[in-house]
Amino acid sequence: MKFNDFLQHLSTYEPGKDIELIAKEYGVKEVIKLASNENPFGTPPKALESLKQNANKAHLYPDDSMSELKNKLAQKYGVKNENIIIGAGSDQIIEFAVHAKLNPKNAFLQARVTFAMYEIYAKQCGAKCYKTTSITHNLDEFKKLYEEHRAEIKIIFLCLPNNPLGECLNRSEVLEFMRGVDKDCLLVIDGAYNEFASFKDSKKHLKPCELIKEFENVLYLGTFSKLYGLGGLRVGYGMAGAKIIKALYKLRAPFNVNNLALKAAAAALDDESFTQKTLENNFSQMELYKEFAKKYSIKSIESYTNFITYFFDEKNSTDLTEKLLKKGIIIRNLKSYGLNAMRITLGTPYENERFFTEFESILKEL
């Protein structure tokens, strides 16, 4: 069978490996997954309670207005319901945005190493891709490329902080850059980890209400998959001016988020002790990862997220990833991004200790 041409140039997203599958395949008793930036403390207690309470409603279609969750988000972020769209993960909002703006005659702009889904969706629309040569976000390069291809570029993706490298631009420099972009170009600000960055450094804090107020062409993305511990339920959101939200709504299938997920997400927003514990653990454990890197002369970039990226010179990241896997530790090899590096999601103190012990023994054996 012949398929559409664009499929030939499309790579398949490589998700983190599954814990149960690895346990079986390698015969390891206790598998630790530090690969998908999930919350190491599990499901937030308030969300768990909500899931139990609503388990007997699986036969009902969800409330398609999603007003309970929208009201909570609107209140928390100081926007109106008309400024919000909820998706099956913020991934789905990226898909809507791309389908709303890109086509074979235009282009998008992104950092060389950033969230893989931008390019995957954009290529489905046949749009051309411009990338910076720097691996991390370099606004001078963004500016230069945008000015060179201004008429063509219809989406700019900024991942703040960036997955899979962890760096984060300051709010003030981002705003200044945004002011130089034409109103017909959609600025997608991916804040999947912005809660982590804001906790560490207030200069990184992006407020969707401020962005929407100043820019009619901005779309801010947030997710419940990382800090809020609900990756398995698939809930994310986009915030923008009402005109953008209306356009994205045309691409949405009804009931795109299930009712248990909607209710659990609303409950998770209230679980402040859970999110606080997550943030504090994350950045205290980050220090241990930095010390470990120093001890073994591994390079890393300052991370504003719940993961850290280790770069290697002589040692091979694919080899190291495979060796860790055999010991039951799943991390993310960044070979597919063209880097000799690995991304490690910060776990509980117990999980991190196991990583250090196993990785240390691997490095010493080399």
Q: Which residues bind ligand PLP (CB under 6 A)?
A: 37, 89-91, 115, 159, 163, 190, 192, 223, 225-226, 231, 236
Residue number with the smallest Cβ distance to ligand PLP: 89
Closest approach, Cβ 119 to ligand PLP, in A, equals: 12
Would you say the C-alpha torsion 248, 251, 255, 257 has a positive or negative sign?
negative
Closest approach, Cβ 231 to ligand PLP, in A, equals: 6
Closest approach, Cβ 358 to ligand PLP, in A, equals: 25
Q: Quick one: 166 or 328, whose CB is closer to ligand PLP?
A: 166
Residue written as tokens 């117990």?
350
Q: Quick one: 208 or 236, whose CB is closer to ligand PLP?
A: 236
Q: Quick one: 17 or 226, whose CB is closer to ligand PLP?
A: 226
Residues 340/283, Cβ–Cβ less than 8 Å: no
Closest approach, Cβ 181 to ligand PLP, in A, equals: 20
Q: Cis (ω within 30 of 0) for the bond into 15?
A: no
User: Of all helices (H) and strands (E), which one includes residue 145?
Assistant: helix 139-148
Question: What dihedral angle (degrees, nearest 10) is formed by the CA atoms of 91, 92, 94, 98?
Answer: 140
Closest approach, Cβ 115 to ligand PLP, in A, equals: 4
Q: Quick one: 192 or 269, whose CB is closer to ligand PLP?
A: 192
Question: What dihedral angle (degrees, nearest 10) is formed by the CA atoms of 281, 40, 135, 219?
Answer: -100
For the beta sheet containing 332-333, the strands, ordered from the edge strand earlier in sequence to the opposite edge, are 299-300, 307-311, 341-345, 332-333
User: Of all helices (H) and strands (E), which one includes residue 159?
Assistant: strand 153-159
Q: Quick one: 83 or 90, whose CB is closer to ligand PLP?
A: 90
Q: Quick one: 115 or 359, whose CB is closer to ligand PLP?
A: 115
Closest approach, Cβ 195 to ligand PLP, in A, equals: 12
